[in-house]
Amino acid sequence: MSKRKFVKQALSQWMNGVGPDSDVVISSRVRIARNIRSLPFPMMSDPSQSLTVMEQLLGVAENGRLNGLGKVEQVRLTELTELEKLVLVEKHLISPSLANESRNGALILSPNEDISVMINEEDHLRIQCLCSGFQVREAWDAASKIDDIFEEQVDYAFDEKHGYLTSCPTNVGTGIRASVMMHLPALVITGQINRILSAVTQVGLAVRGLYGEGSEATGNLFQVSNQITLGQSEQEIIENLFQVARQMIEHEKSARSKLLTESRTRVEDRVRRSYGILSHAIIIDSKEASQRLSDMRLGVHLGLLPEVNELVLNELLVSTQPGFLQQAFGEAMSPEDRDRSRAELIRSRLVTTS
Amino acid sequence: MQCQECDKRLATLHFTKIVNGEKTELHICESCAREKGELIPGTSSGFSIHNLLSGLLDLESPNPNSMAKPPAAKCDTCGLTYTQFSKIGRFGCSHCYKQFAERLDPLLKRVHGNTVHVGKVPKRAGGRLKTKREIDRLKKEMQGRIEREDFESAAELRDRIRELEKEMSC
Ligand SMILES: [Zn+2]
Ligand SMILES: [Zn+2]
């Protein structure tokens, strides 16, 4: 059963490809929300209605219309264990909401996992395209093509005034959410991040950071996405995000070279300390792990860690999360066990690949 | 979505904070973030995006302006009541958008700054829209001809309208 493959590999194939500006941008994503006109949204569906939705939408994949994507995989959520669902969530292939609800949820996945189609999530249909590196335009083009294929078969809920009708009014109109996941360690270290994030939000974009208990974003990862879906065309939304992200990338890059010329020794010390800790620690929590991995990732891109392979760091960012750890080590673990297993996993990966 | 700090402006910064495995979300506006001089205000209790959205709808507090003409309290297609919508912040079906139309535009204006879609149009629904607009145009034209007592050419238009209407119903 090839669904095992999706669950077992920490890295989706699309993450292996070194996309444009991948030293700063981890991934670009576009999601399109659509609904079938004549049926209630998933929240108000009864089981027979949600089954109709699932069959109709899976049917589009079944009769080969998605052939351009290669051999797509269809997975009904009921076929998966709780742990398998958690792993798919950690790989960003399904949302926590789809994993938790029981209303005939399903998933269509392309072979390299860059396209995932969620059925009966908050909306009947959620088409998601993930690209490695900075490829937000490419992600939109790919997602829009899938949208066109579904539209040939499905009578979408669409209204002349409000556009594509979605379950949540924050998605109505275009129904698209485009985002860029960026690694911005140099902007954080040099203290420029707040000023830049403030500027970004003034042009209608939203920023998400994953915060731990300390004062820095965990792993220095920030997701910038469009806030508005109504009153702007898809092209305007994508271009706005593209231009702003472009500038953030340039700021991060110049902050990195400034770090290198002005405080090389201190940065090198920080990077190598993190490497030292990750390759020797016996216990490590997820927050420290992602911060240290972030330092190492910066080090790799500044040329300060020539012995480390960047792909291993990308993989560790995913595989050190709770679901993956539990799967790798067999059973449900206490947080303490997890911290020990996490350290063990990181140590072994850093040793065998360096 | 409203800023959780000032409750006035749109929240544009969103954070997920994880403390001891406990996940909370934080939504603040850009100027509150700047005022604090940092991006991480103190801890907050757990809440969801949709709770916040429902805060925006402000249903329970009486608003003298919008109460003058109460809108439909319930969607007659899916059965969702406006009270339910204001609690969960989600619609039950596409008809809800029509059913709660009167209260919708102020909400959309606050969330998006706009109320009218200008993007992609599905080809099939788009085709229907075009036909609908053509029928409306022809009906006006026919009315004009009837008023001018040009019954013969009005009858031609009537036949054309019937054709289009038949097309639409297929
Ligand atoms: Zn505020
Ligand atoms: Zn409804």
Q: Is B2 a domain residue?
A: no
Task: Report which of B112, B111, B83, B80 is spatially closest to residue B96, judged by C-alpha positions.
Answer: B80
The tokens for B71 are: 């809108």
Q: Is B56 a domain residue?
A: no
Q: Is A214 a domain residue?
A: yes
* Same domain assignment for residues A183 and A122: yes
Find the Cα–Cα–Cα–Cα dihedral B57, A156, A111, A116, rounded to 10°. 0
* Same domain assignment for residues A221 and A338: no
Q: Is A84 a domain residue?
A: yes
Alpha helices, H only, A226-334: 234-262, 264-280, 286-301, 310-319, 322-328
Q: Is A238 a domain residue?
A: yes
Q: Is B74 a domain residue?
A: no
| Residue B99 identity (one-letter amino acid) | Q
User: Chain A residue closest to B57 (CA)?
Assistant: A169
Q: Specify the number of domains making up chain A.
A: 2
* Same domain assignment for residues A274 and A247: no
The tokens for B47 are: 């809440």
Closest ligand by atom to B6 CA: 1
Cα–Cα distance between B146 and B152 in angstroms, integer? 9
State the angle between helix axes of A310-319 and A335-353 in degrees (0 to 180), rounded to the nearest 10: 170
* Same domain assignment for residues A143 and A36: yes
Q: With contact defined as beta carbons under 8 Å apart, do A165 and A41 qualify?
A: no
Last residue of a domain, one of A201, A223, A253: A253
Helix (H, G, I), strand (E, B) or coil at A335: helix
Q: Is B25 a domain residue?
A: yes
Classify burial at B62, counting beta carbons within 10 Å of its beta carbon; exposed 0-12, middle 13-18, buried 19 or more: exposed
Residue A216, chain B, CB below 8 Å: the answer is: no
Ligand 2 mean position, distance from CA B100 (Å): 9
Cα–Cα distance between A51 and A77 in angstroms, integer? 12
pTM: 0.77
Cα–Cα distance between B37 and A194 in angstroms, integer? 8
**Alpha-carbon torsion (A118, A122, A128, A132), positive or negative:** negative
Say what the pLDDT of residue A11 is: 67
Residue A319 marked in a binding site:
no
Q: Is B148 a domain residue?
A: yes
Cα–Cα distance between A289 and A308 in angstroms, integer? 16
| Residue A75 identity (one-letter amino acid) | V
The tokens for B83 are: 């009270």
Cα–Cα distance between B149 and A255 in angstroms, integer? 78
Say what the pLDDT of residue B126 is: 65
Say what the pLDDT of residue A53 is: 95
Task: Report which of B59, B129, B130 is spatially closest to residue B100, judged by C-alpha positions.
Answer: B59
**Per-residue pLDDT band at B35 (split at 50, 70, 90):** low
Say what the pLDDT of residue A84 is: 86
Task: Determine whether the interchain pair B34/A194 forms a contact, defined as Cβ–Cβ distance below 8 Å.
Answer: yes
Residue A209 marked in a binding site:
yes
* Same domain assignment for residues A56 and A175: yes
For the stretch B75-108, pLDDT in tens is: 989 999 988 888 888 999 999 999 998 888 888 9
* Same domain assignment for residues A283 and A152: no
Residue A215, chain B, CB below 8 Å: the answer is: yes
> Strand pairing partners for A128?
A31, A116
Say what the pLDDT of residue A42 is: 92
Residue A178 marked in a binding site:
yes
Say what the pLDDT of residue B46 is: 29
Q: Is B24 a domain residue?
A: yes
> Strand pairing partners for B15?
A209, B26
Closest ligand by atom to B11 CA: 1
Task: Determine whether the interchain pair B91/A218 forms a contact, defined as Cβ–Cβ distance below 8 Å.
Answer: no
Residue A318, chain B, CB below 8 Å: the answer is: no
Task: Determine whether the interchain pair A207/B40 forms a contact, defined as Cβ–Cβ distance below 8 Å.
Answer: no
Say what the pLDDT of residue A48 is: 93
- Nearest Cβ partner of B117 from A173, A207, A218? A173
Residue A349 marked in a binding site:
no
| Residue B2 identity (one-letter amino acid) | Q
Q: Is A65 a domain residue?
A: yes
Name which residue leads in pLDDT, B59 or A37. A37
ipTM: 0.81
* Residue numbers of A between 22 and 61 with CB closer than 8 Å to B: 35, 37, 39-41, 43-44
> Looking up tokens 């991480």, which residue turns up?
B40
**Per-residue pLDDT band at B17 (split at 50, 70, 90):** low
Residue A4, chain B, CB below 8 Å: the answer is: no
Q: Is A258 a domain residue?
A: no
Residue A297 marked in a binding site:
no
Last residue of a domain, one of A193, A218, A253: A253
User: Chain B residue closest to A195 (CA)?
Assistant: B34
Domain that holds residue A283: 263-352
Task: Determine whether the interchain pair A163/B117 forms a contact, defined as Cβ–Cβ distance below 8 Å.
Answer: yes
Across A249-253, B27-31, B155-159, least confident range:
B27-31
Say what the pLDDT of residue B14 is: 73
* Same domain assignment for residues A12 and A149: yes
Residue of B82, B112, B124 best to disrupt the A interface, most CBs of A under 10 A: B112
Residue A34 marked in a binding site:
no
* Same domain assignment for residues A19 and A43: yes
Say what the pLDDT of residue B45 is: 28
Last residue of a domain, one of A221, A253, A285: A253
Say what the pLDDT of residue B24 is: 64
The tokens for A90 are: 């950690």
Q: Is B130 a domain residue?
A: yes
Provide the residue-wise pLDDT of chain A in tens; the chain has 354 residues: 455 666 667 667 666 657 899 999 988 999 999 999 999 999 899 999 999 999 999 999 887 788 888 888 899 998 888 888 888 887 778 887 787 776 799 999 998 888 999 999 999 999 999 898 999 999 999 999 999 999 998 999 999 899 999 999 999 999 999 999 899 999 999 989 888 888 888 888 888 775 543 334 468 888 899 989 999 999 999 999 999 999 999 999 999 999 999 999 999 999 999 999 999 999 998 889 988 999 999 999 999 999 998 888 877 876 776 666 776 676 667 888 889 988 998 999 887 554
State the angle between helix axes of A234-262 and A193-201 in degrees (0 to 180), rounded to the nearest 10: 170
The tokens for B54 are: 């429902």
* Same domain assignment for residues A146 and A271: no
Residue A83, chain B, CB below 8 Å: the answer is: no
For A207, list phi and psi in degrees, rounded to 5: -120, 135
Q: With contact defined as beta carbons under 8 Å apart, do B89 and B121 qualify?
A: no
Q: Specify the number of domains making up chain B.
A: 2
* Same domain assignment for residues A226 and A294: no
Cα–Cα distance between A21 and A43 in angstroms, integer? 39
Ligand 1 mean position, distance from CA B30 (Å): 7
> Which residues have a Cβ under 8 Å from the Cβ of A109 and sit 6 or more positions away?
A6, A72, A73, A74, A75, A93, A115, A116, A117
Q: What is the 3-state secondary structure (H, E, C) of chain B?
A: CECCCCCCCECCEEEEEEECCEEEEEEECHHHHHHHCCCCCCCCCCCCHHHHHHHHHCCCCCCCCCCCCCCCCECCCCCCEHHHHHHHCCCCCCCHHHHCHHHHHHHHHHHHCCCCCCCCCCHHHHHHHHHHHHHHHHHHHHHHHHHCCCHHHHHHHHHHHHHHHHHHHC
Domain that holds residue B139: 125-168
CB contacts of A197 in chain B (<8 Å) are 13, 33, 39
Say what the pLDDT of residue B62 is: 42
Name which residue leads in pLDDT, A242 or B12. A242
Q: With contact defined as beta carbons under 8 Å apart, do A19 and A25 qualify?
A: yes
**Alpha-carbon torsion (A90, A170, B92, B74), positive or negative:** positive
Closest-CA distance, A223 to chain B, in angstroms, reads 10
* CATH number of domain containing A152: 3.30.590.10
User: Chain B residue closest to A225 (CA)?
Assistant: B12
Say what the pLDDT of residue A4 is: 62
* Same domain assignment for residues A16 and A134: yes
